Each structure stands twice: as C-alpha cells, then as structure tokens.
Structure 1
C-alpha cells in the first residue's frame, strides 16, 4: 500500500476526544460520521447532537472555522452501522474500558470494508489485546492511533502496531496523519500508556512524591515547574486539573494494574488528597474545582494538610531563581543538586528520577531516545525532552550524580542505571539516536512524506540544519536558496527579533526583491514562526520621543513601498505564513502574489491596539477588495464591503486559523492551507516555480478604484457615536476608528469617486502619522512595549 485515500472518516464515541478528533478531520476537508449510543428518548442522535453543539463553545476552538461543523454528520449504533461501509478510516474513541471496546468491535466489525483502516484512540490499553476482538481478516488493518488533547492543537499522535498489523498500512496511515492532519508521529511499542503518558504521568507522580517529601505547596511547585524549566504555564498541578483528576487517576491505575514488575511500582498510586477530591466530584477544570479553584477573582489552591483551600501565591525563592537563570545547563544542574534549599532539592530530584526512569525503560517503551524526547515535546509541551535535557547538562557527570543518589537511597527506586548509560557521551548524534533495543543509533524515518519537511524539528545533538546558499544579506534579511530543491527560487528570511519590521528589514526586502527580479525565477518569504509581529515599535517609539515625525512619515512611505514591491514584483512572490502575522506582517502577506499558510496561522491587522491604523497598504488592500466585490454586486454599492473591513480593523480582529483568515479577507480562497507547518517551505518553493512556469504576471496598479468617500466615513462615524455614548469605546478609540474609516473610504472625497491605489496609500499614511503625534497613541505604544498588552486609554 503506497497511498491511503481517505475520503470519509467515522469516529466512534462522541465524548470530548471523539468529537474533537471529528472536528479536526472536518478542518482537513474530510467528511465525518460521528457515532454514539442512540438516545433513550427523543431524537435518536441526541447524544451526538449535544456533542456537536458543544464543539462551538469550547475554547480553544476545535473547529478552524464554525462552518466546518457542517461536514460532521450525527449517527448512532442502533440505526446507522451500515453507513460504516462508506468510511475509509474508522477511529474508535470510547471510554478506556477493555470490555466496552471489545463489545463495540464485535458490533461494528461486520460493517467495516475489507480495505478500511480501523484504529483505536486508546491512551494506554494493549493494542494486541484489542486486536483479539477483531475478526482475523481485519487485524492486518487494525492499530492504535493515540491523539493528545486537544487534538487540533497537540502535535503528537502515537501510532501503535499490533502483531498482525500490516506494515505498509501503518506507513500509509503515518503519511496521511502527518501531512493531512499535520501531526508529529511517534511509533510507540504496545506497552501500558505507550511513550508520552508513561513518562509524563511518571513525571507527575515524581513531582507529587517530592512535593510531599519536602513539604512544598502545590502553587509553589507550579511556580517552579512551568516556563522556568521549559514546561508549559500549566506546570504540574494545573496540568492535572486541565487533564481531569479522574483521568489522571485512571492512567495511574492502569500503570498500577499492568506494570507489577516496574521498579517504581510502589509509587503508582493516587495520593489520598487526590482520591478525596475525586470522591467529592472536584475533578479539575471541567468541574470548576480541583487542585485549584476560583473564588470570584481569587485563585485558591488545595492545602492537603488542612484538607481545605487557601489563597494561591507560591513563589520561587531568590536563591533558586538565581540558579534557574543560569544559561549553562551544566552549571545549573550542578548548583541545583548541591543546594540545600528545598525548592532546589525538589527540582534536582524530579529531573534525576525522570532521567533514571527513562534510562531504565528506554528499551521497553520506545524504539529510540529521539521518540521519547519528541513524545514529551509534542505531547506534554516540554521545551526539551528528558534525554536532551540530560545530554545538555553533561551526560557523564549527570549519570555519575544519578548513580550516586541511587546508591545512597535518595532516588525513588534502587534499580541501577543500565550499563549502556556509562558507555556513551549522550544518546543523540548526527548519525541518529540511541536505541536500547538494538544497542545502536537509529536514523530518522525514510518515509517519502518527510522529504516535504525541509527543516523538521530536531533534537539536541542531531545533525545541524541545512543553511542553504546565501545570495545576499544585510542586517535585516537574508536572501538565499536551497540548490537541492530549486536553485532559482530565492528564499527571503527576516533576521530581526520576532521578525519585527524595521528600517533594516524594509531596506533589505526592497533590495532582495530587486536582486530576485534580476537573477531568479521567484521568491518565497519564509522563516520559522512567527511570520512577523508587525513594525519595530522600539524604533517608532524612539522617533516619536525625538519628535522625528518627518522621518516616521518617510519610514511609513518605505513600508508602503516594500508592500507594493512584493505585490508588483516581476517574479512571483509567495508568502509562507506560520504562527503570528500581525500588523505589518499581515500586510506583507496580503501583498504577496500567493500565500501558503499553516493552519495554525494567526493573522490580523492589530494596529488599533496601539492607537494606529494599518498603513503598510492593509487599508488600501481592503478598499480594493470592496471595490472588486461591489463591481460584481447588484447596484455596485461599495460601502457594505467597507463596513465589514472597518469592523475587522477597528476591532483589531485576528483570524484564529488560516481558514478564518480567508473568511476575513486577509487571504484568498485560492491560497494554500497546509496542516503541517514543517511543509511550508517545500510547498512555497514549488508554488513559486509553478507560478513562474505558468507565466506569472504581476497585477497592474489600479487606477479606477471606486471608494465610499465622505458618506462612507459618516456612516462609520454614526456607529462610533453610538458606541461612544454607550461607553463601549474611549474618545481615542473613536479617533483611531475614524482614521481607519477615512483610509478605507479613500479620504474626504465624493462618494463613488474614482481614485488610484497611490491615493489611498497617501490617505492611510497621513492618518497614521497624525495618530502617531497624539499623546494617547504614544502611551499605547509604550504600554505595549512594556507589558505586551493593549492599553485602553
């Protein structure tokens, strides 16, 4: 099997995971049948209907756009099993009870086509035991496919083969899941809880053990185990609340029941306080109370000694904070291990015990160390996996320290480190990552789908990324190529922090496009996320303080020139957008000849948040869109389309996906949306090549743009008056929004006047500079730079 053609998916089970897996398949343009039990009364599909209604309320949103819901159809096991014959992939996602799953398999198996794939989204049950519940003829097409919650956003999917799983089918499923759903695949062994949950839950148990041993508070531990050590903001105990305390206890129970010989088995049990919370129905975020709960605006945290809640406010001790700020991981770990402070002892202990656990179990749970590290990065949000962290801290010295603690009874288990640990300087090398099963380095997968990832995520110690061939660069940008892909398609990458757009980027972009027009066949504007966070506010703020408004106007004019350079280049320009494309970044993307966007791209004109309006051509592009749409509408009235753009700009609306960016007008329906961001550059190069070969011609500058003029501005202003009188906006909000309306409507000209693109650029530039001169806008810029949040003044 070389290719898996999945035209329709069935998801069995409309619970939290099942419904969200269905949503993500619908995001990917795959129609879905979502099954559950028939309702005992009323409409037969009431259970699924309720789940579908719930998808619209979840945050973060599982649906890339709300209209994706139309591609999910409700079904039930009582009346609709025959519909399974139309499905190419069936994903079972019911509760984690073996007997329930086997009973369902017996019910649905007669209705599954011989060439369909059947997969279980179990989080830890034996895939081989589940396979026994399938007819022998279907076992070759059965496997585990473990999504992480929430499925749209979590990159990890674990694929688990049973004894009879067809290897070619699994390769094809990995290919489809990687490129169509945008996932990072780890091939897990059929062991309890697989890779990520096995290590992740153990790390939580270790944290709980050492919390109690050292008498720390839950909030104190979360202050220690979040971003300060490269973990998510939810840290340890908030993560437990998010996952669900009952779910966590279930996974721990699975480990207790299925791993009796594990040297750490004594620790595979839920603490008394956890069992007590579950018994009371305090299950975490889903019940609005768990380890943490809200009391009005206050956050309370459980005090297990008092069996009651207290105000949350755990802090990191100054001595420990100083250690955590060290850049050298070797020094950091040595200092943590040597410090007598309980917080430092806690951090060393949780790292030590996870290192110990992973080393002992590497051969049992994973094919190689890279899979463990990626599983923890992608499934639990760790900045580095456990083996990477260990290797960065000095492999041999950390191994010596761990062995010493084991010998002296300070570790959670007395099993020695395996011999292979002491024969190596690390587990990741340019040639591959260590496998305890084969006692050799294993290279990455050679499946063809990975050839689309020119810059895949790498683990520490792996071969460095290919730099390509530099054609030209300045302080702001680099123009380069990948000769192994296409030597005549240039790649233009920003070098600034967060890819902010300042003078050096503008100068570099204009020069790079000129060089591409002379020497190349096309350009891809690409760099790893974020795409661009907008103008360099530091440069803007400094110029404002110095009163250099003529200089600022020249910079805005250059910004507009750069946007028009992208739009009217004599070679195709493709914007490969990933992550945030805000303000000027959004404007650059809008002006490109084509966009190749990752699904998780957050695109918007957010200038209103700092008291400004889009002036890099963004207002002008929306005015052009309104003009073109009006020409196709009865009556040709441009204002209805201006009104929509006005609301988008005035409210600083950001698209929450690339699909929504199309709906909001930041991109076009003809643009490409990829689900795997690592494929953007590959697709961008090929799109630029195709455009060149098809005879790409840049659009001419529009000379006859119909604008809404004074009447349009006045109509927008009527909306603003109502909002101001209702107290919804401040006086400066009013001024900023009126400036946006003025730019969108082409300035103070007659309604339906005809102007050219440059006229609208002049209007938006003038409005932008006038706003810059106001104290309120300068305050907003300063506040954004200091806090990263908008100021409502």
Structure 2
C-alpha cells in the first residue's frame, strides 16, 4: 500500500501502521480476521502505543470479505477438548477487557467496515467511537446459532443501547429477540434498524475509499476529543421476564429444547439475579453475567456439536 509505514507487526495477529501522518491504522492478520488471543493482545498493545503517540486509530482490514468473523472458535474448541476451562474464561475476560479498552481509549477509535462483522467482530465495532461501513456489509451477533451467547461485551452493549432509547422496554425486547435468534443484517441499513449500528454511524457506497473516509473522520473527531463517561445501566423489572419468554416462544415456535436453554442463559444477562435491591449495574457487573452465561454453555455437548459443525461446514447446526 502506498506510503505504508509499520509501527509494529505481529505475524498472524495484527499490523499497526500509518501513512506518514498521526492517524494509526490497525489491521488483523488472523484467519478470516478472527479475534484470536494474539489479535486481542495486539489490540491491547496498539492502544498503549496510540494513546501515547497518535491522534486517532482506525481499524481497517485489507480483506474486503471479512472485517472480523468473531471469536476464535478453533481455539475455543481445542480448549474444550483439553478441558482447559481456565483458558476459555481468560480468553473471554480478555475479550471483554478489549471491548472496554476501545470504548474508553483516550483517542478516538473508528472502525472502517467492509464485508462481514459477526459475533465478536460486531462486538468490537460497537465499542468504537464511530463506524463507517460499506452499504453491503453484513453485521450481527450470531452466537446463539452456535450454542453460545455474545460475551465479548455484546449483550451488555445491546442492553446499554436499549436503555438510551425513549421506548426502553420495547427496544430491550427487540434486542433480546435478535440475540436469541442470532440475527445477521442483510446490509448496513438493516444493521441500523437492528441497532448493531447507531444512527450516527456512516454508511457509504460501494467503491468509495473507506479507509480515506475513515481517516478524515478520525481527524475530525480527534479535535478536542474526550473519552466517554463510565455508564450505569438500570435494572429491568423481573416482572418483565415472563413477557420476554412468551415473546421468544411466539417468535420461535420450532425452537428446540436446547434453543430454549440458550434463551434462558441470555435472560440471566438481561435480568440479573441479585441478593440486594440495587437499581443500577456497572458495565463490569453485567460482563460478569455475560461470562457466566457463556461458561454455562461452552462445555455442553450440544454447543460442542454446534461449534464443531460450524468449523467443519461454515454453517449452523440446529440440535
């Protein structure tokens, strides 16, 4: 690429570079740009570097087909086979920390998205200050289809976005149903209606130089930039939980017993069970519920079957 100057390069993980200016560009080099352990570590190294020496960060992939397909399922599958539960928990915790690192970075972070941003890829872009996205990009939290829940801060973030809506309860139900069905948008416009993208995120036509546009946006946002404030998230009334369950059953009349079990795990994040009467949660508290739900699923035989089927075929198994 013209005028490409490397800042640091970790083969099969990340490449951090610039074009002779103060905007750093991060690209992944993993298979299908998945968020492997090495990629997550590379993002942490990137943030430490760019906060000191650059005005903004753009995450951009030279691969037009995949922005990021999400978590490293091959690694997760191997840890399950090895009964290395600690490694799985550490990986998910690192993923959650990475999302928050992007959210609260001292400089603006822009995701320039072309192609698929699925699962963890969707989670990462949702924690950037701004997303600029090609109109044909497909985005979604697909984890339920492979027997898991979005646990890299994605479920938490969909709850946060619902809480910012004037019709909080209705939007929260919409987000719950999307997550429980593992919905992928058909294009960027639909990703906005699903709230994987915000109204402020920018959709551009095919053929437009998305990196150049992202850099212009990064430059603009870097002027007098202030990171967002820490969030508190209101607790949903437990009386609403039954409404969510009935809505799921109506939407998914062909749901299997295991689909219903996955749904129950998602509900533990939307309706956390606490011993006190607290009215608000921190992001970190909700992330604990995300992690617990993921760990309750990842070693079950049916989730293992779903993950292996997806790795072998690229498709989803309904069991």
Quick check: 1:499–1:533 contact (8 Å CA) kept in 2?
A: yes
| Alpha-carbon displacement from aligned partner over 1:714-773 (angstroms, at most 9, x marks no partner) | 33223345567x4x101110011221222233x124898311111111111110111102
**Could you say which residue in structure 2 is the equivalent of 1:708?**
236
When normalised by structure 2's length, the TM-score is 0.94
2:28 equivalent to 1:494? yes
Q: For 1:640, which of 170, 173, 180 is the aligned residue?
A: 170
CA distance in 1 between counterparts of 2:304 and 2:270 reads: 23
**Could you say which residue in structure 2 is the equivalent of 1:597?**
133
**Could you say which residue in structure 1 is the equivalent of 2:59?**
525
Q: CA deviation at 1:678?
A: 4.5
CA distance in 1 between counterparts of 2:208 and 2:80 reads: 39
2:297 equivalent to 1:771? yes
CA distance in 1 between counterparts of 2:47 and 2:267 reads: 32
List aligned pairs for 1:360-439, cutoff 5 A. none
Q: CA deviation at 1:592?
A: 0.3
RMSD (Å) for aligned C-alpha atoms: 1.7
2:278 equivalent to 1:748? no
Q: For 1:684, which of 198, 214, 219 is the aligned residue?
A: 214
Structure 1 residues 701 and 580: alpha-carbon distance in aligned structure 2, compared to 1, 3 A threshold = same
Unaligned runs of 5+ in 1: 1-464
| Alpha-carbon displacement from aligned partner over 1:465-500 (angstroms, at most 9, x marks no partner) | 4360000122311110011xxx10000000111101
**Could you say which residue in structure 1 is the equivalent of 2:310?**
784
Quick check: 2:27–2:59 contact (8 Å CA) kept in 1?
A: yes
2:247 equivalent to 1:719? yes
| Alpha-carbon displacement from aligned partner over 1:2-57 (angstroms, at most 9, x marks no partner) | xxxxxxxxxxxxxxxxxxxxxxxxxxxxxxxxxxxxxxxxxxxxxxxxxxxxxxxx
Say which SS state the counterpart of residue 729 (structure 1) adopts: coil
Quick check: 1:723–1:729 contact (8 Å CA) kept in 2?
A: no
**Could you say which residue in structure 2 is the equivalent of 1:656?**
186
2:104 equivalent to 1:577? no
Q: CA deviation at 1:521?
A: 0.3
Q: How many residues align?
A: 315
2:76 equivalent to 1:550? no
**Could you say which residue in structure 2 is the equivalent of 1:275?**
none
Q: CA deviation at 1:605?
A: 0.3
**Could you say which residue in structure 2 is the equivalent of 1:512?**
46
| Alpha-carbon displacement from aligned partner over 1:356-397 (angstroms, at most 9, x marks no partner) | xxxxxxxxxxxxxxxxxxxxxxxxxxxxxxxxxxxxxxxxxx
| Alpha-carbon displacement from aligned partner over 1:608-649 (angstroms, at most 9, x marks no partner) | 1110110111111111112121xx45xxxx432210001111
List aligned pairs for 1:67-78, cutoff 5 A. none
Structure with higher Rg: it is 1
List aligned pairs for 1:558-577, cutoff 5 A. 558-577=94-113
**Could you say which residue in structure 2 is the equivalent of 1:738?**
264
Quick check: 2:136–2:206 contact (8 Å CA) kept in 1?
A: no
CA distance in 2 between counterparts of 1:723 and 1:667 reads: 23
CA distance in 1 between counterparts of 2:286 and 2:235 reads: 9
Say which SS state the counterpart of residue 173 (structure 2) adopts: helix
Structure 1 residues 667 and 583: alpha-carbon distance in aligned structure 2, compared to 1, 3 A threshold = same
CA distance in 2 between counterparts of 1:661 and 1:719 reads: 21
Say which SS state the counterpart of residue 654 (structure 1) adopts: coil
CA distance in 2 between counterparts of 1:652 and 1:764 reads: 16
Structure 1 residues 674 and 721: alpha-carbon distance in aligned structure 2, compared to 1, 3 A threshold = closer
| Alpha-carbon displacement from aligned partner over 1:572-617 (angstroms, at most 9, x marks no partner) | 0000000000000001111000011000110000001110110111
List aligned pairs for 1:25-36, cutoff 5 A. none
CA distance in 2 between counterparts of 1:478 and 1:605 reads: 26
Quick check: 1:572–1:692 contact (8 Å CA) kept in 2?
A: yes
CA distance in 1 between counterparts of 2:137 and 2:311 reads: 23
Quick check: 1:590–1:667 contact (8 Å CA) kept in 2?
A: yes
CA distance in 1 between counterparts of 2:83 and 2:42 reads: 26
Q: For 1:696, which of 220, 225, 240 is the aligned residue?
A: 225
**Could you say which residue in structure 2 is the equivalent of 1:147?**
none
Q: CA deviation at 1:710?
A: 3.0
